[in-house]
Structures are given as structure tokens and as C-alpha cells.
Amino acid sequence: MLRDITIGQYYQSNSIIHKLDPRVKIVSTILFLISLFIVDNFLGYAVAIIYLAVVIRLSKVPFKFIMRGMKSIILLLLITVVFNAFLTPGQVIFSFGFVKMTLEGVTLASKMAIRLILLIIGSSIMTLTTTPNQLTDGLESLLKVLNKINVPVHEIAMMMSIALRFIPILMEETDKIMKAQMARCADFESGNILQRAKNLVPILVPLFISAFRRANDLAMAMEARCYRGGDGRTKMKPLIYEKKDFIAYIFIIAFNLMIIIIGKMKFVI
């Protein structure tokens, strides 16, 4: 299960999406997420799925690799669907005692499930096609206007980049610790909830120690390289928009406007 978490991982490829400016990918992801919350019908979600399928195709990231990240949210997805289907008032289509499933609940549950799946996949595409260093530079460039009001943009972007970079590292470390404990006859599956939570202590303690050790090593490495924040720093690879980036912006804005316009139409599909 831990190896199925794809958030924060980078998939090496030589695709058009990989070569785009990181600012383009960050802006496109934000616009896509906003459009998903505005959409109000299934046709709008269908257009969003087509848009996402085109992006996945151009990114050359295997669809099976992207879908691995969905395994970690299956429980959350099921809870969302069940609660919306059975707790939303409306026209009853199935009842068993006091439990009632409504047509409005099923419709809302379907929309929430589709939205959640597209949110995860859309966000994963950005991290899978953009290195942590590129994300840092892109966020810093997009937020540099906040420097005028003394907001530490560089430091904020650096912290977000480090957090994303540490996700797959800590997941791998957790997997190693679990296997080591299981080799010592540790049992993480049997027992009630309290017993299972107690059994996690041999994992959490060494994991926290490892995380603090890695954080300390990173801080010492940054200090040894005379890191003093963003003031006066130059970049080895400065971000410069190219022709393909402006073309990508046009297609991104056009597709997201199409998703929003179609998604707000008042008809039933």
C-alpha cells in the first residue's frame, strides 16, 4: 500500500509535458482544480476526463502508474459515496428499515467520486512531470509579487518542495521498518483497533527518529553550502517562457473555459 502513493514522485520521461515551464504546469493544475469545483453536471466532468486523458497521453506517464495512487484513497472514496448516497434527502429508490438511498444522493455521490478521482489524478500529473527543484523555482516565480509585502516567498517554496521530496522517502523508510518488524514476528493485522494502534508504536518511533535525522542532515548540508535564504540568490537554470509555453497556456485556458461553460449548463444527462 505504501508503495502505491505516487504524490511527490517524479517520473522521468522526454515528453512535451515534461519540457513545459513549471509555472505553466502549476497554473494549469490550479485552473483544472478550480474548474472541477465549478462543474455541476456529468457532461462537464466528461469534458474534464477527455482533457485529463489528453494530458496523460502527452506526458507519456503509464496510466497504471498513475492509478497506483488511487489505491490509497479507496477507503475515503467509499466513505464519501456511502454517506452521500444514504444521507442526502430526496426521492427514495431503495430502503431497508431506516436506511434509505435517494436518487439525489446517488447523483451527488457519483459527482463527488468523479471529482475526487480527477483531483488526485490531476495533482499527480504535476508532481510526476515536474522535479522538486522545478516546482520550487516555479512557485517562487509565481509568488514573487508577495515579496513587496515582506512575505518570504523563497522560503515558503523551499519548504513545500522539501515536503514533497520527503513524502516518497518517508514512505520507503516506513515500508522498510514494517518489513523489519514483520521479520521479528510483529503482527499489524490482527486484534481490535486499539491493539492495532498499539502495534504501530514499533514503526512510528524509528520512523520519527529517522525523519528527524534526515531533517538534521539536510539542515547541516544547507548550512555547509552557505544557504541564507532567497536574498541575492541566482539560479543555474532561470525560468524563461518559450513559444511552446504560450501555446500551452492558450490550450489550457480554452479547455478549462470549455469545462466550466459546459459544466454549468442546465440540463440533465
Name the pTM for this structure: 0.75
Q: Is the pLDDT of residue 198 over 80?
A: no
Let me know: does 118 contact 45? Beta carbons within 8 Å.
yes
pLDDT above 70 coverage of the chain, percent: 92
Q: Is residue 105 part of a domain?
A: yes
Cell triple for residue 247?
501555446
Q: What does DSSP assign to residue 185?
A: T
Residue-number span of the structural domain to which 179 is assigned: 2-263
pLDDT at 268: 47
Q: What is the rounded CA–CA span in Å between residue 256 and residue 113? A: 20
Spatial neighbors of 165 by CB under 8 A, at least 6 apart, are 8, 132
pLDDT band at 245, cuts 50/70/90? very high
With a CB cutoff of 8 Å and minimum separation 6, the contacts of 208 are none
Q: Is residue 152 part of a domain?
A: yes
In this prediction, residues 64-89 reach a mean pLDDT of 80
* Residue 129, number of CB atoms within 10 A of its CB: 25
268 domain-assigned:
no
Quote the cell numbers at residue 80: 464519501
In a domain, 56, yes or no: yes
pLDDT tens digit sequence for 94-153: 777 777 888 888 888 888 888 888 988 888 888 889 887 888 888 888 888 887 887 888
How large is the average pLDDT for residues 31-49? 90
102: which strand partners? 92
Does 269 map to a domain?
no
Is 106 a member of any domain?
yes
| Dist. CA 69–CA 170, nearest whole Å | 16
Residue with cell 447523483: 107
Count of structural domains within the chain: 1
**Is residue 213 domain-resident?**
yes
Mean pLDDT of 67-88: 79
Over residues 229-251, the mean pLDDT reads 82
Question: What is the distance between the alpha carbons of residues 101 and 85, in angstroms, rounded to a whole number?
Answer: 6
Check if the beta carbon of residue 162 is closer than 8 Å to that of residue 169.
no
Where helices occur in the chain by DSSP H, the ranges are: 16-19, 22-38, 42-59, 63-67, 74-87, 103-128, 132-142, 153-183, 193-199, 201-224, 243-263
Whole-angstrom Cα distance, residue 15 to residue 57? 9
> Within a domain: residue 154?
yes
Q: Is 204 helix (H, G, I), strand (E, B) or coil?
A: helix
pLDDT per position as a tens digit, 161-193: 787 778 778 888 888 888 888 887 777 777 677
